[in-house]
Structure 1
Amino acid sequence: MSWLYVAAIVALLAPAAALAQTYDTPQTLAVVISPPFYTYVDAEGHAVATGMVHNESDAAYVGNVVVQARFYGESTPLPLGTVTAGTLLEVIPPGGSSPFVVRSAEPDPRIKSAVASLQMFDPSNPKIPGLAIERLADGRLQVYDTVGAPHTNITVHIAYHDAFDPPRILGTSTHHMGDVGIGGSLNLTVPGEHPAGARGAAAFVESDAFSSGIVSWRIGAAPSAPPLPAQILDAWMDDHMGERTSVVAAHQNVTLNAAVHVPDGEGRYWLYVQVSSKESGGVVLLERIGVDGAASVPWTPTHTGEYIAEMFLWGETGAPASRPAPILLLTVE
């Protein structure tokens, strides 16, 4: 069942592949923002950036994580807004991950993309398994002690996702439930409202000293991803000879290409191509072009280094029409 891919979204206790910005500390902590990373417009018109923060450390717990999202328009090199937010989990265990959701301060139709970066994180005391969470037949969540210890400041986190593969986080909620004694339990009535398009959810609970496993469930009747009316089939870079490559020389003319499936009669679609420095996160190229099957954007890199190229397909509604293309990691020598 595809809704079980929620483990790939929340991945609260499972390792995740990392491809983005990495920060190391003298205490050998290694924390990254790992794919999938998405930017979309919510029902109120705010731009929303969602993704995962992964703790690559083998033994260290990480807390106080702060993620910054810079929101950009079509062609301006300066961000239209900058917002910071924390991760869903207060403490990320070794090899574990936590979602983050950063929402623009105001609705702004000019926003077309976002770049996320880690601002800070600290070593944290461990939160060992000591709580359990289950979903009851009536839809409530039950939290209970499993180690014969009292628990303070019990907090339930819920992440909602869509039916894409891999899934996209559409929103999160946090519920503070108070304390529970030895052998005690608490019940939470899950809010009936959830983000539009949500097809599944996952919940996790933590207290001041303990944590739990994950419980997940379906929302709606869609057990699998629906067919996409439009999608990016392939993305790649060609060198000046027209050959596929991921390594080019500085000042060499290249093209960033995408093969796009656009059904007839579905209106216009635009491909957004963004190239940013892997080291600094700064955007060096941002282009929008209309597409009807294939698209190419020229680029002449001027500085050496590693770059991340991302491509997004948007429709006439001003919202993403499909999941983004696979991220391209490019090297300029």
Structure 2
Amino acid sequence: MIWGAVVVGILAIAGAAHAQEYLDTLPTLTVQIVEGSQYVYVEDGYAVMAGEVENTGMSPVADVRIQASFFDATGALLEVAEGGTALDVIPAGSKSPFAVRTNGTIDGVTDASARFATGFKASADKAGLLAIYSTDVDHGESFRAAGEVRSGGAPERDVRAHAALHDGFGRVLRVHTFELGDMLPNSRAQFEVDGLADTRGASLVLYAESESSYAPGRALVEVPAPGPSGHTSSARITDVSVDGAGPDGTVQEGTIATITADVEHTGGPATGYNVYVQISESERGAAGTLKYIVYVDGETGRLGSDGSVSVEWVADRTGLFNVETFIWDPSGIPLGNQGPLLFFPVG
């Protein structure tokens, strides 16, 4: 299966974005797209790239714009879209999620890249007069969380809460904004996060801001793992190999590397399973570059006997790469531990 295929059930694309990490407009202004945070999915026919931006400078910044380019399986550009970060003003040392959606419905998206669209600008500090809390977490059949924004001693205009769902790998799976309107001094406004979580969600991060204030602290909600799936099957990945390497183990740049994971059924009835593969640079490249990470998802059949799973990756850059493999059931529950770590060079 080629990397980037649509994932059955959540219509998500395992997109690895190649993105600018830093864009400096003044010596004190430094913003980066957080490495490994990008995720691409399809919702109501629109392709969406979600991710996270970090202000690593010494001053607050505003007007941070993200440009997302969406591609098909052949590498052809399908559309370029632009969007902003969830937070209008990102304080120094803080992060903000973002989500860029295609302008219209689109078919065939398998990959995407992200970059800063324009230079951003310094902003006046917002007052840290808001506070945000998670007030109720329901771990029932569908995960739900309630939140609350509290104002300080001044009225607030245009109060908004933002929720970003992260998976266990740091990717931003979903971003949602709640418009709470104006608030009186020392008042409270509630909102409910529902429908954001999927089986990969590991944590939910809540933010709050208004025209003049923000919440200095973020609320973190741990998302529970899915409940029992009704089976007792288990499996393990016994070996991981790469096909396409030369005698010295090097994969040539521009060629297709086939990653194969050997799966052993260690007990329980036959059940469907999904192998998840992450390919990443083992070391960061030159200063100012983003660490390259690729995610591969593949529905691979049913347990019942031992077998192997193969996925393909185009080695489009040189360097030393490592491969991590995981095996889950269709509802996202692990069937076994992480597979053996594999390293291979591309030259």
Change (3 A) 1:253 1:86: closer
Matched, 1:188 2:187: no
Indicate the residue corresponding to 1:13 in structure 2: none
Indicate the residue corresponding to 2:151 in structure 1: 145
Change (3 A) 1:26 1:44: closer
Which deviates the most, 126-135 or 115-124? 126-135
Q: Classify the secondary structure of the residue corresponding to 2:63.
A: strand
State the alpha-carbon separation in 2 of the partners of residues 238 and 79 from structure 1. 27
- State whether residues 35 and 51 of structure 1, in contact with CA within 8 Å, keep that contact through their aligned partners in structure 2: no
Which deviates the most, 264-273 or 124-133? 264-273
Change (3 A) 1:80 1:61: same
The 5-angstrom pairing of residues 211-226 of structure 1 reads 211-212=214-215, 213-219=217-223, 222=226
Change (3 A) 1:41 1:155: closer
Indicate the residue corresponding to 1:114 in structure 2: 112
Indicate the residue corresponding to 1:125 in structure 2: 124
CA deviations 1:264-311 (Å, max 9, x no partner) are 775897989999x99999xxxxx999994566767587xxxx889899
Indicate the residue corresponding to 1:100 in structure 2: 98
TM-score by structure 1 length?
0.63
Matched, 1:41 2:41: yes
Which residue type is aligned with residue 49 of structure 1?
A: M
CA deviations 1:55-85 (Å, max 9, x no partner) are 121x1111111111111111x3431121111
Q: Classify the secondary structure of the residue corresponding to 1:136.
A: strand
Indicate the residue corresponding to 2:80 in structure 1: 82
Change (3 A) 1:228 1:95: farther
Indicate the residue corresponding to 1:158 in structure 2: 163
- State whether residues 20 and 34 of structure 1, in contact with CA within 8 Å, keep that contact through their aligned partners in structure 2: no
Indicate the residue corresponding to 1:5 in structure 2: none
Which residue type is aligned with residue 220 of structure 2?
A: S
Which residue type is aligned with residue 190 of structure 2?
A: L
Q: CA deviation at 1:253?
A: 8.1
State the alpha-carbon separation in 2 of the partners of residues 109 and 87 from structure 1. 25
The match for 2:175 among 172, 177, 192 is 172
CA deviations 1:26-53 (Å, max 9, x no partner) are 4222212122234443453543322211
> Percent of aligned pairs with the same residue?
20
- Deviating 4+ runs (over 6 angstroms): 227-231, 233-239, 251-255, 267-275, 277-281, 287-291, 306-313, 320-323
State the alpha-carbon separation in 1 of the partners of residues 156 and 298 from structure 2. 55
Q: CA deviation at 1:209?
A: 2.1
Q: Classify the secondary structure of the residue corresponding to 1:126.
A: coil
Which residue type is aligned with residue 22 of structure 1?
A: E
The 5-angstrom pairing of residues 1-333 of structure 1 reads 20-28=19-27, 29-42=29-42, 44-57=44-57, 59-74=58-73, 76-120=74-118, 121-137=120-136, 140-146=146-152, 148-161=153-166, 164-182=167-185, 184-197=186-199, 198=201, 200-212=203-215, 213-219=217-223, 222=226, 242-243=248-249, 258=259, 260=261, 266=272, 292-293=308-309
Q: CA deviation at 1:235?
A: 9.6
Would you say how many aligned residue pairs link Structure 1 and Structure 2?
A: 288
CA deviations 1:205-251 (Å, max 9, x no partner) are 1112221111233456649xxx99899x9899998662569xxxxx9
Q: Classify the secondary structure of the residue corresponding to 1:129.
A: coil
Change (3 A) 1:136 1:307: same
Change (3 A) 1:311 1:209: farther
Q: CA deviation at 1:122?
A: 1.8
Which residue type is aligned with residue 37 of structure 2?
A: F
Which deviates the most, 172-181 or 116-125? 172-181
Q: CA deviation at 1:94?
A: 1.4
- State whether residues 199 and 222 of structure 1, in contact with CA within 8 Å, keep that contact through their aligned partners in structure 2: no
State the alpha-carbon separation in 1 of the partners of residues 224 and 101 from structure 2. 25
Q: CA deviation at 1:115?
A: 0.8
Give unpaired runs (5+ residues) of structure 1.
Answer: 1-18, 246-250, 282-286
Give unpaired runs (5+ residues) of structure 2.
Answer: 1-17, 138-144, 228-232, 266-270, 291-295, 301-307
State the alpha-carbon separation in 2 of the partners of residues 93 and 237 from structure 1. 47
Q: Classify the secondary structure of the residue corresponding to 2:64.
A: strand
Which residue type is aligned with residue 100 of structure 1?
A: F
State the alpha-carbon separation in 2 of the partners of residues 111 and 311 from structure 1. 24
CA deviations 1:187-216 (Å, max 9, x no partner) are 223154334434542211111222111123
TM-score by structure 2 length?
0.61
